[in-house]
Structure 1
């Protein structure tokens, strides 16, 4: 029996037809991959399935019966659970308290902590992670551990289908392999999984069938995940036939005095003896596994973390350690890894998000001149082709790619808080959760800024992205730079060998 069948699902919001006749079928025990660009309708479809939104047209059949999930708890009771990209766990509660939050086991009318912990341990053991303590606070767990807790919570509702939205986005390579092992164990027990990811290599490895959305419509159903060519999948999603579209590098390598010089930078238990430079107009990429220290290096250069040792110089002038103000005054801007939690005010309009770093430009007699602010932001967002073009649009309504453009636009509106122009742009996972089409636009934007003389320091977990976009690559392993070379001199296999091959990495320098 087909477990889930959607037929002609339509969902309309004021001025937007988010879903325009979506069809989807999921069988018990399969991994059904849902693909599409940001804005294709995947998030809206998830919310319809989970009961957060009600469809305007179409039918949902669950285990052979037509249903309508009026609220998320209705979907959970039926056995349909969702694990969102931004995990909705409570860090201050224990693992057991999170797993059974809202449906705590009871004894004699009272919630039973003992039963809760015992049943949590049973669920963690079922997922192959009995080592996670049921009594530990979730905030003390790594990202991979939190994801296992989310899966345990789904299984605590006797889930027959689990929707996983970008589950590998924050995981290291070995953690992704463990995630796949858990998924295979679940499907072997008859649990179905809807798997959403922008990483097409993962789809081929873990998926059974693929459904593709484009502009709110189903453009392909039931494609074999392992044998459908990548260029065919990309063409259906975007109209193009390649996954990565990199702009050409400048013919001549940047020369002259380094714009940024980092010497002997170190932080306890994070990284040590890190030295490199970035020239004006150059893109330097940091490649390595999650947890290798790349993001920590970037944030220390920006002043968000205070270095224990070493120096950071811009134009030959040292920056004060641990001072974001000093970094921004020197013309440095950061687009952090977690844009939604670290960079954006999701409930505010686009123009307020973009103007955050330069409000002084629009202030007069202690008041912000909103007209000038909107005009300046509008000029920059139009130049970046940020869509929708209305700067009054609420930030949370934008796709991931356009949210990332807004973060970059912040540093182009007014430059630094001291009125200077942008000199150095630090980018941490700039295309995480961004679809293939928007990814190409961001690549073009980053290269355009470099061509205008901006130095770019880039962190990415996608090795093809680093090699295709950067001029020079620094390979980071366990907090140390183990190789530095022009991007054109490295292959993906060489980089992966350096970051994962243990002792060989030390001898490959």
Structure 2
């Protein structure tokens, strides 16, 4: 008889008439790593919020049986007391506090009614050892990289005697090394008897780590795949996720010869006064009309810094070098100057920098080009709706209307809105920074298809990506960066993962 630590039976959840979950069944055996997968908007995060008490008992239908007992979690602290911990993609840490305070925040080590800081540091060190994070517990969170912050979150969960650890897209913002370290840690926690549920869009990671994988689609349970039976493979996962087979994740496009050079930079450098060092060093690159140029490299290699230095320098770097646009020397003192010149930049941080999450789709789509919906300095509300409807349709944004609040959209649909915002300014050069981070395979295919259509229309694209498969699948040429420098340029016919990694680690 199977030993289930969790059984969620016929869970249904609605939001103002919209069914997010319909009769979902989800079972997890004790001591296994169980991946929860599906397209954006499939209901994965909603299901976990039901389990963790974010959506309290009474706000959904169905039963949660945890550790053999029917549970009624009215708030998050109820699930925490039961031994359930959830770590979200957006980490819940206090950046200006040290590691040890973060690990025991809300779970302080007390002695005689006051916090025992010495004991807290000792216990925090034990938790850090458990997650194999070798840092001083007095280090500020803000001084740690994202990968180490993720480990601090797991240490925080372990300090609460967690039995069931839920991770929502834990590797979305991590480089390949940090991702592999995290997966190895989950394997070790499994050996210690801790059960893990991992939500992930990275199929390679799901295949590498899952004992079982449950697929949700449109708020319903589609199937549970068993790795021991050889069912957790890419073709089976994709077919169940999207309801159809996607033979090629990277859609083909017409291989036209590229046109004239649109952008060229020579000996381009950027100095960050806050960091006190060069973040871009002597870069030479060019991009032609009708091509996608990939920029690969490890986290911290200077890729985003290069993009921002070209896009009107919003971080006020000290710049040196030459920039030519359509054969003419140019400089962009402000991002609005770059926009007027036909350059657009879709940020890697759509929630922090790319979108107004508390505003609706139409406000976001038109935000970068208010003149496009104005007459004599007055905004035309009807024109704003028409523009937003046009991009909602052309980009296949899944939402009931353009008045839907963007913060309530799935990650893939948020990314489409962010893309629509910049397409409305009519760019000739589009810089995409991590264009598919945190979105599912179906939404990725749609983004890639849109990119190909833009290229066919004569646009050119610089694509920064940490996913080597994406770089190889979508680029015409690849530049590889490390330590702020271009370490090599590869035509796509000669590029492979090994060559890129060799250049990225020079």
Q: For the superposition of Structure 1 and Structure 2, which TM-score range results when normalised by the shorter chain?
A: over 0.9
Q: Is the 8 A contact 1:204 1:225 kept in 2?
A: no
Aligned equivalents of 1:205 and 1:483: distance in 2?
31
Aligned equivalents of 2:320 and 2:414: distance in 1?
35
Counterparts in 2 of 1:46-65, with a 5 A limit?
Answer: 46-54=48-56, 56-65=60-69
Q: Is the 8 A contact 2:309 2:319 kept in 1?
A: no
Aligned equivalents of 1:406 and 1:144: distance in 2?
28
1:411 equivalent to 2:422? Answer yes
1:296 equivalent to 2:305? Answer yes
Q: Is the 8 A contact 2:5 2:30 kept in 1?
A: yes
Q: Determine the structure 2 residue equivalent to 1:271.
A: 280
Q: 1:447 aligns with which of 449, 452, 457?
A: 452
Aligned equivalents of 1:244 and 1:266: distance in 2?
38
| TM-score relative to the length of structure 2 | 0.93
Q: Is the 8 A contact 1:244 1:436 kept in 2?
A: no
Q: Is the 8 A contact 1:172 1:291 kept in 2?
A: no
Aligned equivalents of 1:353 and 1:321: distance in 2?
24
Q: Determine the structure 2 residue equivalent to 1:144.
A: 147
1:323 equivalent to 2:326? Answer no
Q: CA deviation at 1:323?
A: 2.6
Q: CA deviation at 1:288?
A: 2.0
Q: Is the 8 A contact 2:346 2:422 kept in 1?
A: no
Q: CA deviation at 1:364?
A: 4.7
Aligned equivalents of 2:332 and 2:136: distance in 1?
38
1:375 equivalent to 2:380? Answer no
Counterparts in 2 of 1:183-202, with a 5 A limit?
Answer: 183-202=186-205
Q: Is the 8 A contact 1:98 1:153 kept in 2?
A: yes
Q: Determine the structure 1 residue equivalent to 2:273.
A: none
Q: Determine the structure 2 residue equivalent to 1:44.
A: 46
Q: Determine the structure 2 residue equivalent to 1:505.
A: none
Q: Using a 3 Å threshold, how does the CA distance of structure 1 residues 319 and 326 change in structure 2: closer, same or farther? A: farther
Aligned equivalents of 2:300 and 2:147: distance in 1?
12
CA displacement 1:12-56 (0-9 Å, x = unmatched): 112311111111222232111111110111010111111111452
Counterparts in 2 of 1:224-243, with a 5 A limit?
Answer: 224=227, 227-228=230-231, 229-242=233-246
Q: CA deviation at 1:422?
A: 1.1
Q: 1:286 aligns with which of 288, 295, 298?
A: 295
RMSD: 1.9
Q: Determine the structure 2 residue equivalent to 1:506.
A: none
Q: Determine the structure 1 residue equivalent to 2:175.
A: 172
Q: Determine the structure 2 residue equivalent to 1:262.
A: 265
Q: 1:19 aligns with which of 1, 21, 46?
A: 21
Q: Using a 3 Å threshold, how does the CA distance of structure 1 residues 467 and 88 change in structure 2: closer, same or farther? A: same
Q: Using a 3 Å threshold, how does the CA distance of structure 1 residues 244 and 109 change in structure 2: closer, same or farther? A: farther
Q: Is the 8 A contact 1:207 1:226 kept in 2?
A: no
Q: CA deviation at 1:270?
A: 2.7
CA displacement 1:359-406 (0-9 Å, x = unmatched): 133345654332221222222222222121511000012111111111
Aligned equivalents of 1:183 and 1:243: distance in 2?
31
Q: CA deviation at 1:223?
A: 2.0
1:97 equivalent to 2:101? Answer yes
Q: Is the 8 A contact 1:162 1:191 kept in 2?
A: yes
Q: Determine the structure 2 residue equivalent to 1:68.
A: 72
Aligned equivalents of 1:35 and 1:364: distance in 2?
47
SS at match of 1:489: coil
Q: CA deviation at 1:312?
A: 2.3
SS at match of 1:116: helix
Q: Determine the structure 2 residue equivalent to 1:507.
A: none
Q: Determine the structure 2 residue equivalent to 1:30.
A: 32
Counterparts in 2 of 1:302-341, with a 5 A limit?
Answer: 302=311, 303-305=313-315, 306-320=317-331, 323-341=334-352
5+ long unaligned stretches in structure 2: 271-276
Q: Determine the structure 2 residue equivalent to 1:117.
A: 121
Q: Using a 3 Å threshold, how does the CA distance of structure 1 residues 461 and 122 change in structure 2: closer, same or farther? A: same
CA displacement 1:473-496 (0-9 Å, x = unmatched): 112233322221222332334333
Q: Determine the structure 2 residue equivalent to 1:465.
A: 470
Comparing 48-57 with 431-440, greater Cα deviation is found at 48-57
Aligned equivalents of 2:239 and 2:248: distance in 1?
12
1:3 equivalent to 2:12? Answer no
Q: Determine the structure 2 residue equivalent to 1:361.
A: 372
CA displacement 1:450-471 (0-9 Å, x = unmatched): 1111111001111121112112
Aligned equivalents of 1:243 and 1:39: distance in 2?
22
Q: Determine the structure 1 residue equivalent to 2:254.
A: 250
Q: Is the 8 A contact 1:244 1:465 kept in 2?
A: no
Aligned equivalents of 1:410 and 1:297: distance in 2?
22
Q: Is the 8 A contact 1:300 1:322 kept in 2?
A: no
Q: Determine the structure 1 residue equivalent to 2:163.
A: 160
Name the count of aligned residue pairs.
493
Q: CA deviation at 1:321?
A: 5.7
Q: Using a 3 Å threshold, how does the CA distance of structure 1 residues 175 and 284 change in structure 2: closer, same or farther? A: same
Q: Determine the structure 1 residue equivalent to 2:497.
A: 492
1:135 equivalent to 2:118? Answer no
Aligned equivalents of 2:483 and 2:230: distance in 1?
36
Q: Is the 8 A contact 1:332 1:422 kept in 2?
A: yes
Q: Is the 8 A contact 2:332 2:338 kept in 1?
A: no
Q: Is the 8 A contact 1:249 1:471 kept in 2?
A: no
Runs of 4+ in 1 over 4 A off after TM superposition: 364-367
Q: CA deviation at 1:313?
A: 2.1
